[in-house]
Amino acid sequence: MPILQRGIPQTLARISFRIPNRANTSRHLFTKTVPAKRTPIRTGLYTTAFILSAGVFAVYYFDARSALHRYLLTPILRNVLDAEAGHKVAVKTLRSGLLAPKDPLGDDARLKCKLWDEVISNPVGLAAGFDKDGEAIDGLFGLGFSWVEIGSVTPKPQPGNPRPRMFRLEEDNAVINRYGFPSQGHSSVLARIRSRIPDFPPKLDRAALRDGAMLAVNLGKNKESPADSVDDFVTGVRAFGPYADVLVVNVSSPNTPGLRGLQNRETLEVLLKSVTKARDELEPPPLTSRKPKIVLKVAPDLEESQLIDMADVIRNSRIDGVIVSNTTIQRPKNLISINKSETGGLSGPPVKPFSLKALQTLRAHLPASIPLIGCGGIVTGKDALEYARAGASMVQVYTGFGYDGVGTCRRIKDQLVDELAKDDKTWQQVVDDAVSRSSWKEPKPKEPSVQQLIAEAEELKTMLDKLAKSMV
């Protein structure tokens, strides 16, 4: 055989692979080739191509709306890191002004809403729990949220519950957490909030430092504090009152023992009286001319009778609003994720029916002057609109933001505009209709009956007779 006669080395030396190149020449696999001479023109072309590619990528990356975040970066983060580690990376990224994507668009006029006679640019806010220590406030505002709520913040630093304490239920688009208020404490978070205030702040009269937006601080309670004590909340009001537009009193987390007991009628009366008194005693804030609003955050797991009792307490207090709701300890039967049996609070779409029901109950037992903020399972514009039709003045997202990434707020707002356009209405019109129709109204005094008028007349006659006799 010819190949065997010539030998393998000689055969291999003669084998060549033709590889087309720009000069349409052949390149041999086992022969030395001379690299093409690099000219200044070639180098310039390569450099220009690299700069243009990097520029296009940067434009695409820094636009929060890009599919890159929703379909590539966020899923990678979810699959490479556990839930808590991924959460921390997201916060650190948004904390960095250099790496944080932004929503480049303004808000549609249909989305304007009113809260305590303040105009807000859109009704989509971020719930507490994402930015626990106030690290990424401006990065979150940059994503288009009109309300950024940091915390929960406890007076003293505490580590929270042992890890693992956050679990994804990916098949259900849900999360279970038992964080237990990990917090750097008042001093650290307060210093961070102060550091973002410029030497010459704009005259916007908002702690958010931007028009059409609000900064809220969610106040928590230390684990070792007495269960029935309200002191931690009072301390929080005094610490953060001068630097927040809203203070949220969180008595609804299921992960701090005894905390939900503060929702009972007697303890709730003491709590609300104490925090509003502390707010009223604040010195005029250095940042705004208004003292902060006080908002109560409630659980979705209360019975209807408990919610009615709570509404009665709220009506007779001086708080300004209610967030409905927090995570739930209930486990719907349709959950399919293997993590569904983990202990903690469930959030995401499965909590939506519970939150909506609680909101509707409270709306029916609170006057229109006390706004409700809906929270629980909001993933789309339709979800947000459902809350508005139930009487919520605004909504908050959390779990959907974790799953869909930095473009979540913009997508919800765009979908919401489309839904509102179908009915040719604005968000505020939908809310006003629902609140007017569903809110509690002061009962009218009953008109006296004929029998009652006769009895009163007879009683008056008897008194006059006695008076006449005494004067004789």
Torsion of CA 203, 204, 206, 207, to 10 degrees: -50
Asked if pLDDT for residue 16 goes beyond 50, the answer is no
Residue type, position 199, single letter: D
Calculate mean pLDDT across residues 212-220. 97
Average pLDDT, the chain: 88
Confidence of residue 2 (pLDDT cuts 50, 70, 90): very low
Asked if pLDDT for residue 341 goes beyond 80, the answer is yes
Q: How far apart are CA 179 and CA 383, in angstroms?
A: 26
Query: Which of 10-19, 198-207, 250-259, 344-353 is the most confident on average?
Result: 344-353
Residues in CB range of 207: below 8 A, 6 or more apart: 214, 215, 243, 244, 245, 285, 287, 288, 292
Residues in CB range of 325: below 8 A, 6 or more apart: 252, 297, 298, 299, 300, 351, 354, 355, 358, 359, 375, 376
Confidence of residue 472 (pLDDT cuts 50, 70, 90): low
Cα→Cα distances 308→305, 363, 392, Å: 5, 10, 17
Asked if pLDDT for residue 130 goes beyond 70, the answer is yes
Backbone dihedral angles phi then psi of residue 68, each to the nearest 5 degrees = -50, -40
Cα 257–chain centre separation: 23
Give residue 140's pLDDT: 97
Give residue 246's pLDDT: 98
Query: Which of 11-15, 46-50, 61-65, 209-213 is the most confident on average?
Result: 209-213
Asked if pLDDT for residue 428 goes beyond 90, the answer is yes
Calculate mean pLDDT across residues 358-378. 98
Residue type, position 165, single letter: R
Cα→Cα distances 440→116, 308, 358, Å: 18, 11, 15
With a pLDDT cut of 70, the percent of the chain lying above it is: 86
First CA to last CA distance, the chain: 155
Least confident of 3-12, 239-248, 388-397: 3-12
Do 244 and 207 form a contact (C-beta atoms < 8 A)?
A: yes
Q: How far apart are CA 120 and CA 122, in angstroms?
A: 6
Neighbours of 380 (CB within 10 A): 18
Q: How far apart are CA 233 and CA 270, in angstroms?
A: 12
Q: How far apart are CA 290 and CA 282, in angstroms?
A: 10
Neighbours of 322 (CB within 10 A): 25
Domains observed in the chain? 55-438 (3.20.20.70)
What is this structure's pTM? 0.84
Q: How far apart are CA 385 and CA 394, in angstroms?
A: 10
Three-class DSSP labels, the chain: CHHHHHCHHHHHHHCCCCCCCCCCCCCCCCCCCCCCCCCHHHHHHHHHHHHHHHHHHHHHHHECCCHHHHHHHHHHHHHHCCHHHHHHHHHHHHHCCCCCCECCCCCCHHHCEEECCEEECCCEEECCCCCCCCCCHHHHHCCCCCEEEEEEECCCCECCCCCCCEEEEHHHCEEEECCCCCECCHHHHHHHHHHCCCCCCCCCCCCCCCCCCEEEEEECCCCCCCCCCCHHHHHHHHHHHHHCCEEEEECCCCCCCCHHHHHCHHHHHHHHHHHHHHHHCCCCCCCCCCCCEEEEEECCCCCHHHHHHHHHHHHCCCCCEEEECCCECCCCCCCCCHHHHCCCEEECHHHHHHHHHHHHHHHHHCCCCCCEEEECCCCCHHHHHHHHHCCEEEEEECHHHHHHCCCHHHHHHHHHHHHHHHCCCCHHHHHHHHHHHHCCCCCCCCCCCHHHHHHHHHHHHHHHHHHHHHHC
More confident of the two residues 460 and 280:
280
Calculate mean pLDDT across residues 208-226. 96
Name the CA radius of gyration of the chain, rounded. Answer: 31
Q: How far apart are CA 329 and CA 175, in angstroms?
A: 12
Q: Counting every residue, how long is the chain?
A: 472
pLDDT tens by residue, 26-60: 444 444 555 556 677 767 666 666 565 555 556 56
Q: How far apart are CA 321 and CA 372, in angstroms?
A: 6
| DSSP-derived pairing of the beta strands 174-177 and 166-169 | antiparallel
Catalytic residues, by residue number, are: 253
Give residue 353's pLDDT: 98
Asked if pLDDT for residue 17 goes beyond 50, the answer is no
Q: How far apart are CA 15 and CA 28, in angstroms?
A: 8
Give residue 12's pLDDT: 36
Neighbours of 167 (CB within 10 A): 23
Q: How far apart are CA 173 and CA 165, in angstroms?
A: 17
Give residue 420's pLDDT: 98
